[in-house]
Chains A and B, each alone.
Chain A
Amino acid sequence: MSKEKAMERNFMTLQFAAKSENESFARVTVAAFISQLDPTMDELSDLKTVVSEAVTNSIIHGYDSDPEGIVTITAEIVGDTVTLTVEDRGRGIEDLELAKQPLYTSKPELERSGMGFTIMENFMDEFEVSSEPGSGTSIKMKKRIESKKALYN
């Protein structure tokens, strides 16, 4: 891979209503965009899972399942690295440290597992949450894709 090719940039932005039927649409769309890096099946399913986690959080926690809410996903590819941001303008997270604890959930009555953040942290190389109570949450995640092509070179 030449140096110019290594730093090639591409991006896309996706905006949709905070409805649960859009969760599948969101992860499939992001996966389709990322597929130009020729990821392995494992990498692709990791990415689909983290998109699903972040979008579900925005819908359930950010917007309390209010379909008027809007979720925005940006995916950026620079070289072989994918950066995903998932943003909402919902209620925000009061206590980030608590929210990140494995198995902690603010909505046990909905049978949530409390594993969303743990999964995102584990499946991605970098993971960062910024949130402000009353104005929304933004999750930024990075993952380097070990292209299948690279394995054969």
Chain B
Amino acid sequence: MNLQVEMEHHRNILIVRLSGELDHHTADHVRMKMDETIQCGLTDHLVLSLKNLQFMDSSGLGVILGRYKLIKAKGGKMAVCDVNPTVYRLLDMSGLFKIMPIYDNEGHALSGLEVVS
């Protein structure tokens, strides 16, 4: 599958790094992997790092919005970081930045979420 999910906990913040192509075909895999980890505890907040994401379409937006709802329902916060210009346009168009912050890199995202938590 042309999509890799790498996950790492930083205290109660789950960092998810996606690389490859996030479309309808790979969306289920990403959703499953993330939900498995989120459900097993430890995760209050979520940082989605999109540095190595080469392609994303509206199926990816669905995955991001779905995880946002999940985290929010648990009382947590979510942020995205390292977004390339093409993906940025998609996120902007969908109004995503009205509901979650965007940061330049993981470090900024982590400190941003630690401040609010």
**Interface residues in chain A, defined as those with a beta carbon under 8 Å from any beta carbon in chain B:** 20-21, 23-24, 27, 42, 45-46, 48-49, 52-53, 56, 59-60, 102-103, 110-116, 118-119, 122
Max chain A C-beta neighbours (<10 A), residue from B2, B23, B85: B23
Q: Is the Cβ of A60 less than 8 Å from the Cβ of B66?
A: no
Q: Within the assembled complex, what's the spacing in Å between the Cα atoms of A128 and B59?
A: 21
Residues of chain B in range 27-46 having any CB-CB distance to chain A below 8 Å: 27, 31
* With contact pairs A20-B24, A21-B25, A24-B2 given, residues A111 and B63 touching in the complex (Cβ less than 8 Å): yes
Residues of chain B in range 72-117 having any CB-CB distance to chain A below 8 Å: 85-86, 90, 93-95
Partner of A20, one of B25, B61, B63, B90: B25
- A74–chain B nearest beta-carbon distance, Å: 20
Q: Is B7 an interface residue (CB 8 A)?
A: no
* With contact pairs A42-B85, A42-B86 given, residues A56 and B93 touching in the complex (Cβ less than 8 Å): no
Interface size on B, residues (CB 8 A): 22
Residues of B within 8 A of A102 (CB): 94
Main secondary structure of the interface of A (DSSP, over half): helix
Max chain A C-beta neighbours (<10 A), residue from B31, B58, B66: B58
Residues of chain B in range 47-62 having any CB-CB distance to chain A below 8 Å: 55, 57-59, 61-62
Q: Is the Cβ of A115 less than 8 Å from the Cβ of B86?
A: no
Q: Is the Cβ of A112 less than 8 Å from the Cβ of B93?
A: no
* Extra A-B contacts (11), CB below 8 Å, given A20-B23, A49-B55, A112-B58: A24-B21, A45-B55, A48-B55, A52-B23, A52-B24, A52-B55, A52-B57, A53-B57, A110-B62, A111-B63, A119-B90
Residues of B within 8 A of A114 (CB): 58
